[in-house]
Chains A and B, each alone.
Chain A
Amino acid sequence: MASVALSEAEKVYIVHGVQEDLRVDGRGCEDYRCVEVETDVVSNTSGSARVKLGHTDILVGVKAEMGTPKLERPNEGYLEFFVDCSANATPEFEGRGGDDLGTEIANTLYRIFNNKSSVDLKSLCISPREHCWVLYVDVLLLECGGNLFDAISIAVKAALFNTRIPRVRVLEDEEGSKDIELSDDPYDCIRLSVENVPCIVTLCKIGYRHVVDATLQEEACSLASLLVSVTSKGVVTCMRKVGKGSLDPESIFEMMETGKRMGKVLHTSLQSVLQKEESLGPKRQKVGFLG
């Protein structure tokens, strides 16, 4: 991951500030930076979103392709995650340099989506055991300014919200051979319900306190952090400790509570932004990277 070099004095300044509930950029311990979300930025995908959280910049594209259901789940489609840490973010990611971090993030995404409630996978099935939709969720990391996991999970949720899968029908003739027919109307498509898609809240332990949405500098001062993936109802679907330090059990419970509280707020505001953008319809002026 992109790293910053901090002197001892700078670290002390950050740690003492956090203890007084005042961070370097003027936020309190439970404040997020301003999040910018835009959906439908790449037109040849089924759904896409770009999220900017401080200096962290994420682009997610979802492509729906037809595949065969997995043997153990014959009447469900599935999601595939791939994270590309591009060299744009930092020269360290050149060549195969970003693969480790990419795999780590992709595995975390697999884990937080690994429960029945997050996405209705049954709606992705076309004909049991034969055809289903496979959603390839591809995350592109463009700039790295701390708190990657939260930004990526917000972008994935926004992209899934934006995803439109063409409606298909299975026609069966007398001999039993099946034919898949695509709807003529390009606007006739199915949408995914993203109500239960979780978002990750990362809590960084700095000194005796924990902060949400840490910047790169704050991440450099923290020894350990806790990833909590929370749904809009405040249900925790996954939890993971990351970082090289250790955490005591009591603080884990404290952090979990904060995570749940922050997660609910995050979901509410994300949902309202997405709805607002949706209501503008196709007339919306697209900003993308030009704004």
Chain B
Amino acid sequence: MAGLELLSDQGYRVDGRRAGELRKIQARMGVFAQADGSAYIEQGNTKALAVVYGPHEIRGSRARALPDRALVNCQYSSATFSTGERKRRPHGDRKSCEMGLQLRQTFEAAILTQLHPRSQIDIYVQVLQADGGTYAACVNAATLAVLDAGIPMRDFVCACSAGFVDGTALADLSHVEEAAGGPQLALALLPASGQIALLEMDARLHEDHLEHVLEAAAQAAQGVHTLLDRVVRQHVREASILLGD
């Protein structure tokens, strides 16, 4: 990569982080009153909103209903002003459809869908500002929203991205690091069991390095879990104070 040094000799990244360090995460549950569950997350400059409706009756064609479990329906959209260059469509393009499918796969692995047969759970995520790691931010926001809606899950789903630069694995890539075009890995983890709900890697990476990158992403996802857990506990504490017991 010409001109831009992603990792300095002292081991610092472009934005001053260490290799395995996460960006600042701030989150809030229960942003909207009308939805069944909602959450907002900021990971550095990436900002995402997630809203959950359901479980409710299947909308539209009854033929889609599953006799033994709930249907998880996801839509990913990203605001037209979220990226540096203005986007023409917020959703419906190829990337958004793919993201929707990935989210669906992730949450089907985590939600106890067999408890709600013949019903539907809608998860809508909206990226307000994109600065790398949008998939991870969406998964983390959606986890909080599903928890806010009170839908039973096996575990949290915590996601994080990782990359590989100059023999070092970097966790939680920013837009600059993503744009440099190195190998990228997106990982969604069920932190308690250490199971992987989604794993995706682009570009070429030597098999020997994969373990390090995977390890970096998993460790970062565990870090995300600690933070999300704190947010949930804080939210529950506040809610119980408001209820008066």
Contact mask B29-73 → A, CB, 8 Å, 1/0?
Answer: 001111100101010010101010100000100000000000001
Given A42-B128, A94-B75, A94-B124, A61-B80 contact (CB < 8 Å): yes
Alpha-carbon gap, A143 to B124, bound state (A): 13
B143 part of interface (Cβ distance < 8 Å): no
A113 part of interface (Cβ distance < 8 Å): no
Beyond A42-B47, A138-B86, A140-B126, 20 additional contacts (C-beta under 8 Å) are: A43-B129, A44-B45, A44-B131, A45-B81, A59-B79, A61-B82, A84-B77, A84-B80, A86-B124, A87-B122, A88-B38, A88-B124, A94-B73, A95-B75, A95-B91, A136-B86, A138-B81, A140-B79, A289-B31, A290-B42
A192 part of interface (Cβ distance < 8 Å): no
A48 part of interface (Cβ distance < 8 Å): yes
Chain A residues proximal to chain B, CB less than 8 Å: 2, 42-45, 48, 55, 57, 59, 61-63, 65, 82, 84, 86-88, 90-91, 94-96, 136, 138, 140, 142-145, 288-290
Please indicate the chain A residues that have their CB under 8 angstroms from the CB of B26 in the complex. 290
Alpha-carbon gap, A107 to B131, bound state (A): 31
Q: Are B75 and A55 in contact (CB under 8 A)?
A: no
Question: Which residues between 66 and 121 of chain B lie within 8 Å of chain A, taking CB atoms?
Answer: 73, 75, 77, 79-84, 86, 90-92
Please indicate the chain B residues that have their CB under 8 angstroms from the CB of A136 in the complex. 80-81, 86
Q: Are A289 and B28 in contact (CB under 8 A)?
A: yes
- Count A-B contacts at CB 8 Å: 97
Size band of the B side of the interface?
A: 35 or more
Please indicate the chain A residues that have their CB under 8 angstroms from the CB of B80 in the complex. 61, 82, 84, 136, 138
The residue in chain A whose Cβ has the minimal distance to the Cβ of B86 is A63
Please indicate the chain A residues that have their CB under 8 angstroms from the CB of B75 in the complex. 87, 94-95
Please indicate the chain A residues that have their CB under 8 angstroms from the CB of B83 in the complex. 44
15 pairs, A vs B, C-beta closer than 8 Å? A42-B79, A42-B81, A42-B82, A44-B83, A61-B79, A61-B82, A62-B81, A63-B86, A87-B51, A87-B122, A87-B124, A94-B122, A138-B86, A143-B35, A289-B49
